[in-house]
Amino acid sequence: MIGKGVWSAGAMTDMPPRILLLAGTEEAVRLNRLLAESADVSLITSLAGRTRDPAKLTGDVITGGFGGQSGLDAFLRQQSITHVIDATHPFAAQITSSAIKAATSAAIDYLRLERRPWTATAEDNWIGAASVAKAAGKLEGFRNIFLSIGRQELSAFREVRGKQFLVRSIEPVAFDPAGSTVTFLQDRGPFSMDAERALMKEHRIELVVSKNSGGSATYAKIEAARNLGLPVLMIERPEQPACRTFEDIDSLLQALRLGRST
């Protein structure tokens, strides 16, 4: 349980801390459960609303966004939020930018939960790309490509010609590149290394394109590529403004408890 009266700056009142949790990741689901179980906090959890059947969340849940930073400014004020905990995906740059600005402008605490990026082992063959758009320009020499980047940024590959893409996503996708063919798979992880390996063999994959999401849920594809000796075109995370960032839930909860200003 989270300690009472030991919250960080701006929250030392008789009222329980009122937290806005920005969700959309597995870690956010776990954090939602832990915070919702605590009698010492009041919690609102927020989802973008991209997934039709999201993982179950506890307590008050809102969906659909705030309407940019100004909408979030108003929401924080109206709901008397004392802490914003941002547990969105490392590639969800827009909401993180809005949340940092809105929390700063409201003079309330902002804490970011962001898992560590993956790093290449000696057996990995990674090709770096600074962004999804840059990755689309680095496919020369490969034909059968596993485009494992989710569905929202596939349009960056719309003009790529002469490829056979394998695209897997939780929700159906609209992706119809002009000069390439696409095989769609609708499926939700986690996937085992053996299953990923079999999938790559079945589709004669020559290159895996992945965001550097970090975490264990989607790491099996990276292990499978390593196992098969396949290169991975690894897309780096977008740059974010400096902010209080924690790599795991325990350290974030610990910082809340101690009221540290790390």
Q: Does 214 bind ligand NAP (CB under 6 A)?
A: no
Residues numbered 79-98 forming contacts with ligand NAP, rule: CB under 6 A: 88-89, 91-95, 98
**Residue of 42, 46, 169, 218 that binds ligand NAP (CB under 6 A):** 46
* CA pair distance 120, 125, nearest whole angstrom: 8
Instruction: Name the residue with tokens 């809102």.
Output: 62
Count interface residues toward ligand NAP (CB under 6 A): 25
Following DSSP, what letter does each residue of 82-119 receive, concatenated?
-EEEE---TT-HHHHHHHHHHHHHHT-EEEEE-PPPP-
Output the six-digit token pair for 15. Answer: 């009222």
Q: One-letter amino acid identity for 192?
A: S
Task: Tell me which of 108, 112, 118, 150 binds ligand NAP, using CB under 6 A.
Answer: 150
Residue 222 in contact with ligand NAP, rule: CB under 6 A = no
Cβ-based nearer residue to ligand NAP, 156 or 228? 156
Task: Based on the shown chain and the rule CB under 6 A, indicate whether residue 115 belongs to the binding site for ligand NAP.
Answer: no
Among 58, 105, 152, 254, binds ligand NAP (CB under 6 A): 152
Neighbours of 115 (CB within 10 A): 19
Instruction: Report the residue number, 25 or 206, with the smaller CB distance to ligand NAP.
Output: 25
Of positions 83, 112, 197, 211, contacts ligand NAP by CB under 6 A: 211
Residue 23 touches ligand NAP, criterion: CB under 6 A: yes
Integer Cα distance of 180 and 160 in angstroms: 7
In this structure, are residues 71 and 65 in contact, taking their beta carbons and an 8 Å threshold? yes
**Secondary element (H or E) of residue 83:** strand 83-86
Task: Figure out which of the listed residues 3, 67, 190, 241 binds ligand NAP, where binding follows CB under 6 A.
Answer: 67
Closest CA to 244 of 40, 83, 131: 83
Identify the helix (H) or strand (E) that includes residue 148. strand 144-148
Which positions touch ligand NAP (CB under 6 A)?
22-25, 46-48, 50, 65-68, 71-72, 88-89, 91-95, 98, 150, 152, 211
